[in-house]
């Protein structure tokens, strides 16, 4: 607030010839250590009220007409009977006062003409911060000391070695404090603070607390205000200046510093039993620049996680944490955390323009602190929310966000440099799907890093696919209902611990894919649902927002900030955690407006169709951004319909008129369902379902496919993979081995869920994970399970060494049928070709009988063939029916080819043969 210039009386001497008691005490307080004046100022912390403010204002105004000595005596008497923290109730400027003044105002108006003129000029320039300073000075007026005692105290308590310059400065402080204590000035400039800023700060609805709190240059010095609820006193330390601020009540403290500019300063905040030495959060400039805010507003900030969330940093030479959050509908936002006992009252954030972003730099807060955002909704109610951009969270069921910074030093430079050398669809790609919390229950990320890479490398898989590791509150959702999109689940460790696991997999030569869930999010009231009091991340239309299958909420893909949140999230995992690919969950539910909805529960798009045009645009933007920024990364769609162009480039339009979605690969759900249906039939009935194994080749090259035997197929009563097979235990295992070799030879990439590699009999449960005890040498049937696992190892080894099985996966010329219509025999045979034309012959006999001298047409330019894999080998638990030695073709035309082979086909088995 603006300091009150001295009136005629304020600089006069008392009857004893000394300055007034008020001047003496103000001078002494300005030159003392903080303890010198605390005993009285701290003790009087009282709530303000309209009645007290009115009464005290009237008394103060009457005091204007009295002599300096009488004024000092009355002020001392008043200080004993009235709370020191008055709430001003006057008008903004005396010259704008209403015509009908109260009696007290009329009395004040009768002050001398010179005094009235000065007050008007000062009042016209007053700000809210100045009002605080004026109140602070007024509070420190003398109570009961006489002028003589005040003068004696000043001399007695002054530092012994004070220079003349400091004495002069102290006298200036005294003069300013006495001047500022003029009651008329306080009354003339007070209403904005009383009715506006103070009320909004207390209510948590202030959009710009930095304009009120902190230090602000004003005529006559620097007005400083602090908001420290529960504090007993606040002392400001700025260089040689050390002054205790006036307690204005309700946690507000204010004062006037005799400095030309706002200084760098610290606050000594006294609480019961302790004094906190701290920086003031409200003396700092914003930590976000115009470019960040522009990109956020445009929905184009591809590194959004670097702008929003909690970031430990050094700002203006001070260490602390920058908090920022997008909440455009909020009336106010405050930071609550372990550093303030989760009471955000004294930590209001500022709104940065029209972007909806709120920001606050909190000095002294560092890594490991818990926090949430306290949001005041449009209706005035409050909600405590986890940070949508939190990069670390508490372990569930706790829900706070955690301040963190990464210190991991990556050791996978070689992997990262070569991962983009060959396009994924032209490279070997066999995936081991893992649910990390249950793969080895109880292991942390770092413990998994000691076991998982070695196990996967031994089996020969090229990649692991991690079921969602983003934070989720309910473990039974397996991670598919995400609340912390930017945070690896804390169940297994810290974000750096997860980086350590990824790093270990890369150093073992294994790529890392992760399931990513942008289709929906849960309704938890501490997470994203109606985040700032209104639909924000979810669609405004309740019919569009509610996901009909899972009781969750769908994202509003048409809102640019929401798209930005998700696109940046995809980039974040690839760049911050070196993830090599994202398997996007539930794409079909995103693409169709009528997905799982009855007529009347959805509205057509602007063209009258059922396509969700916003979701299409989002997926295209996400894929284009990820591929542009991260060469070598692959995106994979779990899309269960016949949507045209899932793996087509976004700029290539198809027959439907849409550009491609831009994915690298797509799960072939049709192949999975059809082939498992076929295998579930008893062999005697398979002849009637032969097309279920051949139909996939009708559309095999319409997209770039992955053949998935995922977790979805071995849970909730679907039984494990081996248990789906008919027959006795021997036949079940034989069917499984034959099926896996057929799958590895079929065009497309492969994915197998954990536990199926060793023929686990029970379906998967996230509570206990795979039945590793089946591989214990002490278990009687251990050899049966180990045989299947050894087959999977050999499938991967031969697969990786045979380009014909992967190099032309997406080209029709890479595949040709030998016999696809031998339904009565339950036999399927085809050739795979690499880029140079070298073939591999795959033959599956899905009947339980040996077929001797089974003739198959083959190219006549291959002089001999030999088995490279036979699923009936004794080592795998089979009957060991083999084709020993090279098998030479005969010049007998068969199956439309000039030459043919005669082979012995083992029962329920698949053979792979290559040129000898």
- The residues assigned a catalytic role are 585, 638
Q: Rounded CA gap, 42 and 28, in Å?
A: 17
Q: Which two tokens stand for residue 313?
A: 């940093």
Look at residues 765, 904, 837 and name the one whose alpha carbon lies nearest to residue 437: 765
Q: Which two tokens stand for residue 567?
A: 């696109």
DSSP-derived pairing of the beta strands 221-227 and 214-218:
antiparallel
**CB within 8 Å of 234: residues ≥ 6 apart:** 226, 228, 244, 245, 247, 253, 267, 268, 269, 270
What DSSP string describes 167-209?
A: HHHHHHHHHHHHHHT-HHHHHHT-HHIIIIIHHHHHHT--S-G
Look at residues 197, 101, 183, 73 and name the one whose alpha carbon lies nearest to residue 137: 183
Q: Rounded CA gap, 40 and 120, in Å?
A: 33
Q: Which two tokens stand for residue 540?
A: 């405004």
**CB within 8 Å of 814: residues ≥ 6 apart:** 747, 804, 807, 808, 832, 833, 834
Q: How far is CA 332 from the centre of its chain?
A: 21
Q: Are 668 and 706 in contact (CB under 8 A)?
A: yes
Q: Rounded CA gap, 154 and 26, in Å?
A: 9
The burial of 81, by beta-carbon neighbours within 10 Å (0-12 exposed, 13-18 middle, 19 or more buried), is given as exposed
Q: Rounded CA gap, 104 and 607, in Å?
A: 71
What distance, in Å, lies between the first and last C-alpha atoms of the chain?
A: 95
Tell me if the bond preceding 162 is cis, omega within 30° of 0. no
Q: Rounded CA gap, 94 and 88, in Å?
A: 14
Q: Are 216 and 130 in contact (CB under 8 A)?
A: yes
Q: Which two tokens stand for residue 433?
A: 């799907």
Q: Are 278 and 269 in contact (CB under 8 A)?
A: yes
DSSP-derived pairing of the beta strands 233-238 and 241-244:
antiparallel
Q: Residues 142, 147, 149, 151: is their CA dihedral positive or negative?
A: positive
Q: Rounded CA gap, 156 and 151, in Å?
A: 9
Q: Which two tokens stand for residue 655?
A: 């027959």
Q: Which two tokens stand for residue 874?
A: 């004794």
CB atoms within 10 A of CB 617: 15
- At residue 567, the 3 state secondary structure works out as helix
The burial of 746, by beta-carbon neighbours within 10 Å (0-12 exposed, 13-18 middle, 19 or more buried), is given as buried
**CB within 8 Å of 650: residues ≥ 6 apart:** 620, 623, 624, 659, 660, 661, 662
Q: How far is CA 508 from the centre of its chain?
A: 29
Would you state the torsion angle of the CA atoms of residues 594, 600, 606, 609, taken in this order, to the nearest 10 degrees?
A: 40
Q: Rounded CA gap, 165 and 699, in Å?
A: 91
Look at residues 326, 374, 329 and name the one whose alpha carbon lies nearest to residue 352: 326
Look at residues 198, 167, 8 and name the one whose alpha carbon lies nearest to residue 85: 198
Give the H or E element holding residue 82. Answer: none
Q: Assign 3-class secondary structure to 299-342.
A: CCCCCHHHCCEEEEEEECCEEEEEEEEECCCCCEEEEEEHHHCC
> What is the CB-side half-sphere exposure of residue 739 using CA atoms within 13 A?
31
């Amino acid at each position: 607030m603006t300091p009150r210039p001295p009136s005629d009386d304020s600089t006069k001497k008392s009857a004893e010839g000394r300055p007034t008691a008020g001047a003496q005490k103000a001078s002494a307080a300005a030159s003392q250590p903080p303890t010198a004046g605390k005993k009285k100022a701290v003790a009087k912390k009282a709530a303000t009220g309209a009645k007290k403010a009115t009464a005290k204002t009237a008394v103060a105004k009457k005091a204007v007409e009295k002599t300096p000595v009488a004024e000092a005596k009355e002020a001392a008497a008043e200080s004993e009977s009235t709370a020191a923290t008055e709430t001003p109730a006057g008008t903004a400027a005396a010259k704008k006062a209403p015509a009908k003044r109260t009696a007290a105002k009329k009395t004040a108006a009768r002050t001398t003409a010179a005094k009235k003129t000065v007050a008007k000029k000062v009042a016209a320039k007053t700000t809210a911060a100045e009002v605080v300073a004026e109140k602070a000075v007024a509070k420190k007026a003398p109570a009961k000391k006489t002028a003589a005692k005040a003068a004696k105290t000043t001399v007695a308590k002054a530092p012994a070695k004070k220079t003349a310059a400091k004495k002069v400065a102290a006298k200036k402080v005294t003069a300013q404090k006495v001047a500022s204590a003029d009651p008329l000035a306080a009354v003339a400039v007070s209403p904005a603070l009383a009715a506006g800023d103070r009320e909004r700060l207390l209510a948590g609805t202030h959009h710009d607390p930095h304009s009120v709190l902190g230090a602000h240059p004003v005529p006559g010095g620097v007005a400083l205000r602090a908001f420290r609820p529960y504090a007993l006193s606040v002392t400001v330390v700025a260089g040689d200046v050390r002054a205790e601020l006036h307690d204005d009540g309700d946690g507000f403290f204010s004062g006037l510093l005799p400095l030309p500019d706002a200084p760098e300063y610290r606050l000594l905040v006294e609480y019961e039993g302790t004094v906190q030495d701290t920086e003031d959060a409200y003396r700092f400039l914003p930590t976000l620049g115009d470019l960040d805010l522009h990109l956020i507003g445009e929905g184009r900030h591809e590194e959004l996680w670097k702008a929003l969330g909690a970031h430990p940093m050094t700002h203006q030479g001070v260490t602390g944490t920058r908090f920022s959050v997008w909440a455009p509908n909020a009336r106010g936002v405050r930071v609550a955390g372990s550093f303030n006992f989760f009471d955000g009252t004294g930590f209001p954030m500022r709104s940065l323009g029209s972007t909806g972003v709120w920001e606050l730099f909190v000095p002294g807060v560092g890594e490991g602190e818990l926090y949430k955002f306290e949001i005041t909704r449009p209706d005035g109610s409050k909600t405590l929310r986890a940070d949508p951009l939190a990069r670390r969270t508490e372990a569930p069921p706790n829900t706070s966000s955690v301040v963190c910074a990464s210190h991991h030093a990556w050791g996978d430079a070689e992997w990262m440099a070569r991962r983009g050398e060959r396009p994924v669809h032209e490279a070997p790609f066999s995936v081991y799907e893992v649910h990390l919390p249950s793969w080895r229950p109880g292991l942390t990320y770092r413990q998994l890093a000691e076991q998982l890479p070695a196990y996967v490398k031994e089996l020969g898989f090229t990649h692991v696919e991690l079921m969602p590791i983003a934070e989720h509150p309910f473990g039974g959702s397996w991670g598919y209902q995400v609340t912390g999109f930017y945070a690896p689940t804390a169940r297994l460790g810290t974000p750096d611990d997860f980086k350590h696991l990824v790093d270990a997999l890369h150093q073992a030569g294994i790529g890392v894919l992760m399931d990513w869930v942008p289709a929906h999010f849960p309704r938890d009231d501490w997470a994203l649902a109606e985040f700032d009091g209104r639909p924000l991340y979810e669609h405004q239309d309740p019919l569009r927002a509610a996901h009909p299958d899972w009781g969750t909420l769908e994202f509003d893909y048409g809102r640019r900030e929401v798209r930005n949140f998700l696109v940046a999230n995809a980039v974040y995992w690839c760049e911050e955690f070196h993830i090599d690919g994202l398997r996007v969950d539930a794409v079909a539910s995103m693409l169709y407006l009528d997905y799982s909805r009855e007529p009347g529960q959805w509205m057509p798009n602007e063209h009258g169709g059922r396509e969700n045009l916003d979701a299409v645009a989002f997926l295209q933007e996400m894929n284009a951004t990820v591929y542009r920024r991260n060469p070598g990364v692959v995106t994979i769609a779990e899309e269960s319909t016949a949507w045209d162009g899932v793996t087509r480039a976004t700029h290539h339009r198809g027959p439907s008129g849409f550009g491609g979605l831009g994915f690298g690969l797509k799960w072939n759900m049709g192949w999975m369902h059809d082939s498992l249906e076929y295998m579930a039939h008893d062999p005697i009935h398979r002849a009637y379902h032969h097309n279920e194994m051949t139909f996939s080749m009708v559309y095999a090259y319409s997209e770039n496919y992955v053949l998935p035997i995922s977790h979805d197929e071995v849970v909730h009563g679907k039984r494990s993979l081996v248990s789906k097979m008919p027959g006795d235990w021997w036949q079940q295992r034989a069917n499984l081995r034959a099926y896996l070799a057929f799958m590895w030879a079929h065009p497309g990439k492969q994915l197998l869920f954990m536990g199926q590699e060793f023929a686990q009999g029970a379906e998967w449960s996230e509570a206990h994970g795979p039945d590793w005890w089946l591989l214990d040498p002490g278990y009687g049937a251990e050899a049966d399970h180990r045989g299947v696992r050894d087959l999977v190892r050999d499938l991967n080894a031969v697969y990786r060494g045979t380009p014909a099985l992967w190099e032309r996966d997406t080209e029709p010329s890479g595949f040709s049928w030998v016999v696809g219509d031998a339904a009565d025999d339950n036999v399927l045979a085809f050739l795979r070709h690499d880029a140079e034309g070298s073939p591999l012959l795959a033959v599956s006999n899905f009947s339980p009988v040996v077929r001797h001298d089974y003739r198959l047409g083959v190219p006549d330019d291959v002089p001999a063939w030999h088995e490279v894999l036979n699923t009936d080998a004794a080592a795998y638990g089979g009957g060991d029916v083999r084709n020993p030695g090279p098998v030479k073709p005969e010049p007998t035309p068969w199956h439309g080819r000039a030459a043919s082979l005669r082979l012995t086909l083992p029962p329920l088995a698949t053979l792979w043969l290559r040129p000898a």
